[in-house]
Amino acid sequence: MAKVQENWRDVIADRLRERNKNESARFADIIHYNNRLFDTAAKLRQENLDLKIDKKIRDSVNVAGSAGSGTGFGTDVAAITNAQIQSLEKKVLAQQEELTDLHKRKGEHSQMVITLNQKLTELQRLLAEKERVLADKTALCVALKEELDELKASHVTIKDESLASQLRANTAEDKLRTVQDENTKLLNLLMEYKSRDAEIMNKENDKFVKEKKARIESELERAIRDIPGPSSLGADLDRFDVDGLPEGVEFKFDAHDGEVNAVRWSPIERIVATGGADRKVKLWDVGKGVCEQRGVLVGSNQGINSVEFDTTGSMILAASNDSASRMWSVVDHRLRVSKAC
């Protein structure tokens, strides 16, 4: 424990000596002159003490001489002593002037040391402040360099992503053009198929109409042949031509805004129900020789494609293109049932 404490003291002493050496190296000349002043002052004090002793000796000699016989020897001693005293007084004055000058120079040097210490302290403070600013600037420079490196890396990444996005966009445009071309081809093919289907349907419709017309004509001919004779028909025979078919149009009217998809006779009255693309079912009275509208049945979301009366003629059923069936009452035209298929 004592060894550790001794080492600790030695370290502190070495550090103090090192600091003293570093602090005093800049003022070595001033310290040297100051030491010389102290030495000179000590020397002058010693000489002053010697002079005081000589003066006392001289005073004692003068007292002894005055007490003697008054011979010529005493006069000579007094003359020598006066000469020595004057010489010593001159030396004392010179030494005092030199001491004063040394004290003056000492004060000047001390003031210079204080001024230099203040300047040194100020310079050290400025140096510390400059070092702190320099450290801050260095840290800022390092941070800016790191940020610049990150921005460069981000720029490279964004540039690569931009190139990749541009390539993807070009690929997507090529695919879009290809899809558009294929879509155009498919549309043209679809239109061609639709045109063919329309032609086929028209042919089938024409064939169906012709067959239906032929069947009706054959049925009418059979019905005419089954009639007993012209006398039983009376005036009604004039309504048929030679072939037994009706001539002319009995009623013609605009039933709907658009296509008429369905027509049905009422089983009990001379009422006709029509359904059209305008999503309405209309009732028409044709019993008075003219066509009068009896009512409009609404509630459908799509065009009507089929209508049907019940056996009593009091209800009417309609089917529409929204895959739903609806039932109305003929009397008050109210929707009774609506059901999706």
Model confidence band, residue 3 (pLDDT cutoffs 50, 70, 90): low
Model confidence band, residue 340 (pLDDT cutoffs 50, 70, 90): confident
Q: Is the dihedral of CA 166, 171, 174, 178 positive or negative?
A: negative
* Domain assignment of residue 95, yes or no: no
* Domain assignment of residue 238, yes or no: no
What does the pLDDT look like over 293-306, one tens digit per residue?
889 999 888 899 99
| Total of domains in the chain | 1
Domain with 293 in it: 260-340
Q: What per-residue confidence (pLDDT) applies to 66?
A: 60
* Domain assignment of residue 100, yes or no: no
297: region left, alpha or beta (phi > 0 left; psi from -120 to 50 alpha): beta
| Alpha-carbon distances of 315 from 162, 273, 328, rounded to whole Å | 70, 11, 6
* Domain assignment of residue 113, yes or no: no
Domain CATH for 300: 2.40.10
* Domain assignment of residue 323, yes or no: yes
* Domain assignment of residue 41, yes or no: no
Residue 282: pLDDT above 60?
yes
* Domain assignment of residue 227, yes or no: no
* Domain assignment of residue 310, yes or no: yes
Burial classification of residue 83, based on how many CB atoms lie within 10 Å of its CB (0-12 exposed, 13-18 middle, 19 or more buried): exposed
